[in-house]
Amino acid sequence: MENIINYYYDFYPKTINKMYGGFYFENSNSSYLLVELKTNQKYILNIYELLMQNGINNYIIVYNKDNNLVTHHNNKEYILFIINCKASDVLRFDEQFFIPVNYNINWSKMWSERIDYYEIQINELAQDKKLVLHSVYYYIGLAENAVYIAGIYEKNVSGECSIQHYRMHVPVIKGEYYNPNNMLIDVTIRDIAEYIKSSFFLEKRDNNYYVDYIKTLFLTDLTANLLLARLLYPSYYFDLFDEIILNDYSETELLSIIDRQKDYEIFLKQIYMEMSINYKIININWLKKEL
């Protein structure tokens, strides 16, 4: 990363730290973040343009030496941002933004492909990982429930979309929240679901905290069912699975999730029961069983 920053931007920082979803450094009393693009540059630049149009200018792109927004290096694409906020600060509730976008999604197809991918990874790379083998099919089962719900309800969501985030980790840090490379266009309940899942496993609040929060949301039958699908989809498990398989993380990282498996199941049943009072929620038999 140092070579990219030196050559393409003529910056020579003393230290570069991996944080906020990229490579952070300071230069001349300003803060910068170099990110490797998660998706194609057109998609990211479209999101960036929407942010600028709506006055969300916490991250500003820095042109490289060739006067380009995107830097190409070793078949990868990078963008350098100057950060116009206190990146380490925790985001306040009133600092969240809402930018609606008409968009079509296909969670069911994407999730189905991910399940197929994980099954291949299990057979090829995880046969010596006992904790993974002991737990993974339970979470694949949750994902299959999510696929089923999404396949029914995702067809009419174009008017329910906005700029969302790949992940919402607690606490929500401004440096991650305002990073355009951490954004995508999706149904507006994505951030809510990912925040709840992160909080459940990290903060371990009482279930009523989340139930009461969901009661305050203005949902429709469509978004209520998609919220359930997103809460069912175990992104928290699959993120760690990827790190274990691809980056040699220890299997024991899964214990904090597996140990709360039953607790999360109870939580899902509570959410299902609560939302069923006000919305037409799809029938999932195991969620209807008594707590």
Distance CA 182, CA 91 (A): 15
Q: Are residues 71 and 115 in the same domain?
A: no
Query: In three state form, how does the secondary structure of 216-235 look?
Result: CCCCCHHHHHHHHHHHHCCH
Question: Sign of torsion, CA 64 67 70 71?
Answer: negative
**Peptide bond before 171: cis, by omega within 30 degrees of 0?**
yes
Q: Are residues 143 and 256 in the same domain?
A: yes
Per-residue pLDDT, 289: 76
Q: What is the mean pLDDT of residues 144-168?
A: 96
Q: Are residues 135 and 35 in the same domain?
A: no
Tell whether 153 is covered by a domain.
Answer: yes
Distance CA 176, CA 168 (A): 9
- Residue 273 corresponds to which amino acid? M
What are the b/e assignments for 243-252, b being 16+ CB within 10 Å?
ebbeeeeebe
Q: Are residues 261 and 140 in the same domain?
A: yes
Tell whether 156 is covered by a domain.
Answer: yes
Q: Are residues 153 and 39 in the same domain?
A: no
* Interval 201-239: pLDDT, tens: 999 999 999 999 999 999 999 999 999 999 999 999 999
> pLDDT band for position 106 (50/70/90)?
very high
Tell whether 62 is covered by a domain.
Answer: yes
Q: Are residues 269 and 166 in the same domain?
A: yes
Last-in-domain residue among 51, 84, 117: 84
> Residue 130: is its pLDDT beyond 80?
yes
For 110-189, strand residue ranges (E) read: 161-165, 183-187
Tell whether 91 is covered by a domain.
Answer: no
Tell whether 89 is covered by a domain.
Answer: no
Number of domains in the chain: 2
Q: Are residues 74 and 168 in the same domain?
A: no
Q: What is the mean pLDDT of residues 43-71?
A: 97
Tell whether 90 is covered by a domain.
Answer: no
Last-in-domain residue among 84, 117, 151: 84
Per-residue pLDDT, 83: 98
- What are the structure tokens assigned to 266, written together? 């109870």
The residue whose two tokens read 């694409």 is 77
Helix (H) or strand (E) holding 204: none
Per-residue pLDDT, 291: 56
| Burial degree of 78 (CB within 10 A; 0-12, 13-18, 19+) | buried
The 3-state DSSP class for residue 207 equals helix
Q: Are residues 111 and 147 in the same domain?
A: yes
Q: What is the mean pLDDT of residues 37-65?
A: 96
> pLDDT band for position 147 (50/70/90)?
very high
> Residue 93: is its pLDDT beyond 70?
yes
Tell whether 98 is covered by a domain.
Answer: no
Contacts of 177 (CB under 8 A, 6+ apart): 91, 96, 165
Per-residue pLDDT, 78: 98
Distance CA 63, CA 84 (A): 16
Per-residue pLDDT, 212: 95
* Interval 278-291: pLDDT, tens: 999 999 999 987 65
Q: Are residues 255 and 157 in the same domain?
A: yes
Tell whether 94 is covered by a domain.
Answer: no
> Residue 125: is its pLDDT beyond 80?
yes
Q: Are residues 18 and 69 in the same domain?
A: yes
Contacts of 266 (CB under 8 A, 6+ apart): 207, 291
Q: What is the mean pLDDT of residues 97-114?
A: 96
What average pLDDT is seen over the chain?
A: 95
Q: Are residues 69 and 32 in the same domain?
A: yes
Give the CATH number, domain containing residue 178: 3.90.1200
Last-in-domain residue among 49, 84, 119: 84
Measure the N-to-C terminal CA separation of the chain; round to a whole number of Å. Answer: 51
Q: Are residues 163 and 231 in the same domain?
A: yes
Distance CA 35, CA 20 (A): 9
Q: Which domain holds residue 237?
A: 107-288
Give the CATH number, domain containing residue 48: 3.30.200.20
